[in-house]
Structure 1
Amino acid sequence: MLVIKNLVKSFGERKIIDQLNLEIKDGEILTIVGPSGAGKTTLLRCLAGLETIDSGDLIIDGTPFNPVEMANIDQIVGVVFQDFQLFPHLSVIDNITLAPTLVLKEDKVTSKEQSKALLEQLGLQGKEKLMPYQLSGGQKQRVALARALAMKPKIIGYDEPTSALDPELREQVEKVILELKDQGITQIVVTHDLEFAKHIADDMLHVEAL
C-alpha cells in the first residue's frame, strides 16, 4: 500500500500541493481528477522522483522512501506521460529494452523476450521493429506503458491517458488498465475525463487549484 502523508510541493511562491494525505491500496486504481494547474501531474512527478517534495512522507508497504534518492533499480512508481517520451531514434523493442538492460542489468535475450511478451499483452505483437513515427498515438501510448512495465515498478501512473484519443481508442485504454488491475497492478490515473475516471476507479480524488 502507498501512503502519502502531509505532502507539500511549491514552485517558487506558488503552492501546488498543500498537506495532501492519501492511501492507495495494493491492486486498486486511483483516479485523480480536477482542472489544469491543480497539481495532478506534479503529484505523479513527485512520486516518480522527477520532482522533489518540500515536506511530507511517502511510505510504501510500511517503509518510508524518497524516490529522488532511490536507485532506478528500486523504482516504486513508473509513469506513462502524456507525450509518451519515446526515443525517436530507437525501434519499439529497443525503446522497451534499453532501461532494463542498462539499469536492471538484464541480459539482452531475457529483456527482449519479456518485452515481446509485454507487447503481445498490449496488442502490439509484430510492431517490434517499427520506429515511433510509424505508430499511431494509441500505439505510442501502449509502447510507453510497456516500457514502464518493463522496469517492474510497484505502481504505474498515467498522465492524461485518454487526451486527444477518439472514443474507440479510449475504450482500448480503459480495457488495458482494467486488465492490468486483474493482474494485481496498482495504478494511479490522472485525467480530465470524469466519465472515463468513473469507469475504472476503485477510488477517486478530486483536486482543485490553490
Structure 2
Amino acid sequence: MLELQNISKKFGNKTVIDQLSLKIPDDSILTIVGPSGAGKTTLLRCIIGLDKVDGGKFLLDGQPFDPYVSRNSDGIIGAVFQDFQLFPNLSVEENITLAPMQVLKKSVDEAKQDAKRIMEQLHLLDYQDQYPYQLSGGQKQRVAIARALAMRPQILCYDEPTSALDPELKNEVKKIILDLKKTKITQIVITHDIDFANEITDQTLTVKPVK
C-alpha cells in the first residue's frame, strides 16, 4: 500500500498541495479529479518523483519511501504521460526495450522477450517495427503503457490517459486499465473525464485549489 502523510508542495509563495493524506491500497485504482489548476498534475509528479515535496512523507508497505530519491531506480512507480513522450527515432519495440536494458541492465534477448509478451498483451505486435509518427493516438497510448510496464512497476500512474481520444479509444484505454488491475498493479489516474473516472475507479480523490 502507498500512503501519503501530510504531503505539501509549494512553488514560490503559492501552496499547491496542503497537507494531503491518502492511502492507496494494493491492486486498486485511484482516480484524481478536479478543476484545472487544482494541483492534480503536481500531485502526480510528486508521487512519481519528478518533483520533491516540501513537507510530509510517503510510506510504501509501511516503510518510509521517497519517490524523488527512487525515481531512477528499478520499477517501483511507472508513469504514462499525456504527450506519450515516445522517442521518435526508435521503433515501438526499441521504445519498450530501451529502459529495461539501460536501467535494469537486462540483456537484449531478455528485454525483447519481455517486450514481446507486453506487446502481445496490448495488441501491439503488428506495430513493433513501426515508428511513433506512423501510429495513431490510441496506438501511441498503448506503446506508452507498454514502455512503462516493461519496467515492472508496482504502481502505474497516468496523466489524462483519454485526452484527445475519441469514445472508441477511450473504451480501449478503460479496458487496458481494468485488465491491468487483474495483474495486481496499483494504478493512479488523473482525468478530467468524470464518467471515465467513475467507470474505472475504486477510490476517487477530488482536489481543489488551495486558498
Normalised by the size of structure 2, how large is the TM-score? 0.97
Cα pair 1:154 1:185 within 8 Å, conserved:
yes
- Where 2:57 maps in the other structure, the secondary structure is strand
Of all paired residues, the percent bearing the same amino acid is 59
Number of equivalent positions: 210
> Structure 1: which amino acid aligns with 2:202?
D
> Are 1:151 and 2:151 an aligned pair?
yes
Residue 48 of structure 1 contacts residue 76 of structure 1 at CA under 8 Å; is this kept in 2? no
Q: Which residue of 2 aligns with 1:207?
A: 207
RMSD: 0.9
Partners of 2:109 and 2:202 lie apart in 1 by 37
Q: Is 1:67–1:75's contact at 8 Å kept on the other side of the alignment? A: no
Q: Given that residues 153 and 185 in structure 2 are in contact (C-alpha distance below 8 angstroms), is that contact kept between their aligned partners in structure 1? A: no
How far off is 1:71 after superposition?
Answer: 6.1
User: What does residue 31 of structure 2 align with?
Assistant: 31
Measured in 2, the distance between the counterparts of 1:94 and 1:146 equals 11
User: Are the counterparts in 1 of residues 97 and 115 from structure 2 also a CA contact under 8 Å?
Assistant: yes
TM-score (norm 1): 0.98
The 1-side partners of 2:30 and 2:144 are apart by: 20
Deviations 1:29-73 (CA, angstroms, capped at 9, x unpaired) = 000000111111111111111111001111111111112212623
In the TM superposition, residue 155 of structure 1 has moved relative to its aligned partner by 0.2
Moved >4 Å (runs of 4+): none
How many angstroms apart in 2 are the aligned matches of 1:193 and 1:157?
16
Per-residue deviation, residues 98-144 of structure 1 (Å, max 9, x unmatched): 11001100001010111111111011121111000000011101101
Counterpart-to-counterpart distance in 2, 1:71 and 1:178? 25
Structure 1 SS opposite 2:67: coil
Gaps of 5+ in 2: none
* CA–CA distance in structure 2, aligned partners of residues 31 and 71 of structure 1: 21
Distance in 2 of aligned mates of 1:205 and 1:196: 14
Cα displacement string for residues 6-46 of structure 1 (whole angstroms, at most 9, x for unaligned residues): 00001111111100000000000000000111111111111
1:130 corresponds in structure 2 to 130
Rounded Cα–Cα distance in structure 1 between residues aligned with 2:69 and 2:200: 32
Partner of residue 69, structure 1: 69
Superimposed CA distance per residue, residues 154-192 of structure 1 (whole angstroms, 9 cap, x where no aligned partner): 100000011111100000000000000111110000000
Q: Aligned to 2:165, what secondary structure does the other structure show?
A: coil
Corresponding position of 2:82: 82
SS in 2 for 1:64: strand
Contact 1:79 1:148 (C-alpha < 8 Å) held by counterparts? yes
